[in-house]
Amino acid sequence: MLITRSGETAGALSAGCIEEEVALQGREVSATGEPKLLAFDTRRRFGCNGSIEVFVERVDEEFMGWLRDKITSREQFEITAESFVQTIEPALQLLIFGDGPDAEALSRQAQLLGWDVHLFSAITELRATPDYRTAAVVATHNFGRDCAALRHLLPLGLRYVGLVGPRRRREELLVDVIDSGAAVRSQLFAPAGLDVGAETPEDIALAIAAEIQSVFADGTGEHLRDRKAPIHANNITQCVVPAR
């Protein structure tokens, strides 16, 4: 979580329980330069069953430049502060092939989630090579353009390639792709999206975005009320013990 001297913030530490107080403390740290280790018992004040420690320190322009370069490079990196180590993954990158209402709605939904979104009319417009944090959705509603996109995307080994359209059309496209000799190494989701009763372009965008999130976060897509395990993944921040 980044906090400016004026109190503006980017990022979050919880669902909203502690951010306001951390931001207040962050402004003081920014003014004095003295770091702080904050501790919150969320059971008493916020009604959540747990506790959290937050280390707050002032950063300089050099760090912000380094952070900007790391984010732009789309490589995994670590931020270390005292005994805390946070691993940062690149933002999800979403490649959308199509220019209809559903493609535009999906683009807006993905941007709301903070994903790196690229909208294309056809696969011929794609220049860069997708990486391991890239998902693709094919929604041109044109058989030839859909087929060309799948021929290019399916051999890449992507974790998510979504195809908008009915099952029968999927089978026809796959026959064409396989006959072309293209390997199928990517995970194909067709029809794309979770079953949320979607009808409108905005509904469909929600269903597809939820499916992509589930795939990359190893979610199950089940109702949380039916989940027996903890809601959040056990991705506890690493603690580094200094050498003595």
Q: How confident is the model at residue 182 (pLDDT cuts 50, 70, 90)?
A: very high
Q: Are residues 28 and 71 in the same domain?
A: yes
- 112 and 192 within one domain: yes
pLDDT at residue number 214: 95
In tens, the pLDDT along 60-85 reads 889 999 999 999 999 899 988 777 78
Domain end marker among 74, 89, 104: 89
How far apart (Å, rounded) are the C-alpha atoms in residues 85 and 156?
A: 32
For the whole model, what pTM was predicted?
0.83
Range of the domain at 64: 2-89
For residues 34 and 146, membership in a common domain is answered with no
pLDDT for 224 equals 82
The pLDDT of residue 183 is: 92
Summarised one tens digit per residue, pLDDT across range 188-219 is 999 999 999 999 999 999 999 999 999 999 98
The lowest-confidence range among 129-133, 155-159, 238-242 is 238-242
User: Which of 59, 89, 119 is the endpoint of a domain?
Assistant: 89
Residue 238 maps to a domain: no
Residues 139 and 50 in one domain: no
Tell me the residue type at 53. Answer: E
In the chain, the number of structural domains is 2
